[in-house]
Amino acid sequence: MAEAFRRRALGTGAVVGVLSAAGLAVLRADAPRLFAGLTRGHALPLLLLSIAAGIASLLLLARRSYLAVRITAALAVTGLLWGWAVGQYPDLLPGVTLAQAAATPAVLAATLGSLAVGTLLLVPSLWWLYRTFQRDQSRQQQSPR
């Protein structure tokens, strides 16, 4: 089954690579400002990192180096996302700057408060869940067969 998924992943990776190259051509025609931000300046190294990591992922997958593929695939996605953000900077979206999109202090305080309450509820529940499953595992290991 792993071999079938590996073949599918290789085919999908090749298709995604071709579509990404075509996407850059479309980006050049439809969003020249973003295209310039991606291909000239600080975003270019991140874009190149994404391309290199994507190619490395395909090569590692072909060699069945599954653990290393996870790392290079994560690098490819990370490079693409950061490259996009750096290419757009200082705009978040066309016509919307980061300062314009920033939340007000009241919204930030409410968000921080809800995160604190959520943490107080979630952490004890997770601790209890993990403890329950660990206790069941230790009992199964100690019982004679």
96 or 116: which carries more pLDDT confidence? 116
Q: Compute CA distances 92 → 10, 37, 86, 87, 130, whole Å.
A: 33, 13, 10, 10, 40
Whole-model pTM? 0.65
* pLDDT, tens only, 102-140: 899 999 999 999 999 999 999 999 999 988 888 755 555
Count the neighbouring beta carbons within 10 Å of the beta carbon of residue 35: 17
Q: Summarize the confidence of residues 32-46 as an average pLDDT.
A: 86
Q: Which pLDDT belongs to residue 18?
A: 92
Please say if the pLDDT value at position 3 is more than 70. Answer: yes
For 114, the token pair is 């809800």
Q: Which pLDDT belongs to residue 138?
A: 56
46: left (phi over 0), alpha (psi -120 to 50) or beta: alpha
